[in-house]
Amino acid sequence: IKASVMEGDKFDEEQTELHEQSKAQSALEKLQAERKTLPIYQYRDELLKAVHDHQVLVIVGETGSGKTTQIPQYLHEAGYTKHGKVGCTQPRRVAAMSVAARVSQEMGVKLGHEVGYSIRFEDCTSEKTVLKYMTDGMLLREFLGEPDLAGYSVVMVDEAHERTLSTDILFGLVKDIVRFRPDLKLLISSATLDAEKFSDYFDSAPIFKIPGRRYPVEIHYTKAPEADYLDAAIVTALQIHVTQPPGDILVFLTGQEEIETAEEIMKHRIRGLGTKIAELIICPIYANLPTELQAKIFEPTPEGARKVVLATNIAETSLTIDGIKYVIDPGFCKMKSYNPRTGMESLLVSPISKASANQRAGRSGRTGPGKCFRLYTAYNYYNDLDDNTVPEIQRTNLANVVLMLKSLGIHDLLHFDFMDPPPSEALLKSLELLFALSALNKLGELTKVGRRMAEFPLDPMLSKMIVASEKYKCSDEIISIAAMLSIGNSIFYRPKDKQVHADNARMNFHAGNVGDHIALLKVRSMKRARDIRDQLEGLLERVEIELVSNPNDLEAIKKSITSGFFPHSGRLQKNGSYRTVKHPQTVHIHPSSGLAQVLPRWVVYHELVLTTKEYMRQVTELKPEWLVEIAPHYYQLKDVEDSTSKKMPRGEGRAS
């Protein structure tokens, strides 16, 4: 479209418009023709009949067969959207947005009209929306307002094999509502794995299989383990590029930072290879990649060039990129783990499961025979990798979902119909935390504080911080802080090639003296923080907390923060490390923190991240007596009294 607008000078206005229309028309026809080439197309009528005949259906089909983009459209064409919406859940934000964008193109409608998406803090739907893609977490939240999902005629829990925490909770809730809503259709769709298990759980629901086209994939292992998988991945990609026949490359990496590093090194080495080799187009894709850049991975590779997609797990099953012929699998992903004893959650780079390894390999055999290069040994594969990934519900903090289930009136959590139950220790731990935050009373019932907290789509500690800001009369400042924390680290975005610049920018943050590029980046994340803040402001109104600003009373702001985060308190040790107060553990202030050089005696932190050490990220100084004042049921004087008579010279009296 851009090109034709540029040529537009040659036409008069009317002609341009006609030209545009016919171009859009032929693009639409092309998309319609493409739809018919997907494996699922042949089963369209059979599938619709199965949906008609059964209330609950498990659908299994290879990634790329067309489940996510086509099934909701088929249901729409068959009239299911006349009396309600078709909702389709995705475990990942990017997938929900990208698929909705694709389906709106295929239907020739504007995104947000008939086809829309809803992800946390971003609702791109309207009155018109009949096909709604959303994260599983968003559908979960919809239960709070509409416990029978009355607005839906069909719910499709997609990517069920991912077994995210929200998907697992959804299973229990939708299984319950199909009993009293015979008009509601429920589809559970998954990429091949665990179909029997889903069927068993949903009272022996029939399984509809979509046979995929899968070409043979040649698997290559390394002879010896790789010491540096990132470097090995880059070397392998460049080798493929210079020695192998045409076909795009997909590399699985663990996160944004690693992807940026890989991109930078690759660009550098390609320059070193001279001008004789074919063009290599590098396309990163990860959850926080700005929307404008996400579309790039789907653009067809120009003749003579090759594309290399550097992706997180998102490309394992959530997104299908056409044209991939080579997969490079270092064998790792970032995985959440949770220690219910200490309540500590961390995100660790961990080995993937065999099931994941096979999904990854499969990405290379969609359009023709493929090759998968595993950067680990065959011995590792057969002996060290687990068969399946442990479902998230068994390795995460449950406080959030417990609060939500309590608000839905589900009290007996130990007997909730979990497909795989969480460890009871983890459930108890979250009940304890919610009690400590005053969200539950001694009987485990929701309190007024808890009801207010549940309105916020945030972790309970953050919600509590907001609810507490009423008492300290600084709700205005606190929702700004909550919004900034919610966009994560992207506010101080450090593009690999501008890290020094970015770090200086952060240092100069108060002075406001930053380069133009960084300023632009900041504006983009600032806009998102602004949007989130606006929504939090709306939610404040809903729970009847007045918006009050108190910018000069830092103590009030810090006390609000402490009201939510008091379980995350730490005390300075002689050697400059910290000791967490409740479940003693050694931690450190993250070097990026403004307090890293200050080392206050007492701090609260937002989260722990484990890299080379256990680091506290987002740290605020506090006075120990606040802990006893704010959480007397949690801290006693003896917890916060100084056992050392020798006072620390640094950080003295800095609180407030």
Segment 43-82, which members bind Mg ion (CB under 5 A)? Answer: 68
Q: Please name every residue paired with 403 in a beta bridge, in sequence order, or none if there are none.
A: none
Considering only 58, 66, 362, 453, the residue that binds ligand ADP (CB under 6 A) is 66
Which tokens hold the place of 427?
């459930």
Q: How far is the CB of 68 from Mg ion (least distance, A)?
A: 3
Nearer to Mg ion, 19 or 214 (CB): 214
DSSP 584-630: --EEEE-TTSTTTTT--SEEEEEEEEESSSEEEEEEEE--HHHHHHH
CA distance 446 to 410: 11
Nearer to Mg ion, 92 or 306 (CB): 92
CB proximity list for 62: less than 8 A, separation 6 or greater:
39, 191, 192, 210, 212, 213, 214, 362, 366
When CB distances are held under 5 to 8 angstroms depending on the partner's kind, the choice from ligand ADP, Mg ion, none that residue 320 binds is ligand ADP
Which tokens hold the place of 622?
């506090």
Strands (E), 38-151: 56-61, 85-90, 115-119, 122-124, 131-135
- Which has the closest alpha carbon to 617: 586, 596, 640, 598? 596
- Which has the closest alpha carbon to 138: 104, 85, 191, 92? 92
Q: How far is the CB of 65 from ligand ADP (least distance, A)?
A: 4
Q: How far is the CB of 59 from Mg ion (least distance, A)?
A: 10
Nearer to ligand ADP, 68 or 125 (CB): 68
- Which has the closest alpha carbon to 363: 376, 374, 351? 374
Which amino acid, 602? Answer: W
Q: How far is the CB of 69 from Mg ion (least distance, A)?
A: 7
| Contact characters 255-294, ligand ADP, x per CB under 6 A | ----------------------------------------
Q: How far is the CB of 335 from ligand ADP (least distance, A)?
A: 22
Give the nearest residue (CB) to Mg ion.
68
Q: How far is the CB of 284 from ligand ADP (least distance, A)?
A: 16
Our finding on whether 365 is near ligand ADP (CB under 6 A) is no
- Count residues near ligand ADP (CB under 6 A): 17
3-state helix, strand, coil in the chain (%, to 5): 45, 20, 35
Our finding on whether 320 is near ligand ADP (CB under 6 A) is yes
Our finding on whether 101 is near ligand ADP (CB under 6 A) is yes
Which tokens hold the place of 34?
């493409």
SS3 273: coil
Which residue in this structure is represented by tokens 């925490």?
A: 165
Which amino acid, 558? Answer: K
Nearer to ligand ADP, 102 or 163 (CB): 102
Nearer to ligand ADP, 35 or 501 (CB): 35
Considering only 43, 60, 61, 217, the residue that binds ligand ADP (CB under 6 A) is 61
Q: How far is the CB of 47 from ligand ADP (least distance, A)?
A: 12
Q: How far is the CB of 187 from ligand ADP (least distance, A)?
A: 12
Applying CB under 6 A, the span of 57-65, 242-250, 597-605, 615-623 interacting with ligand ADP comes to 57-65
Binding residues (CB under 6 A) for ligand ADP: these are 38, 61, 63-70, 98-99, 101-102, 298, 320, 322
Binding residues (CB under 5 A) for Mg ion: these are 68
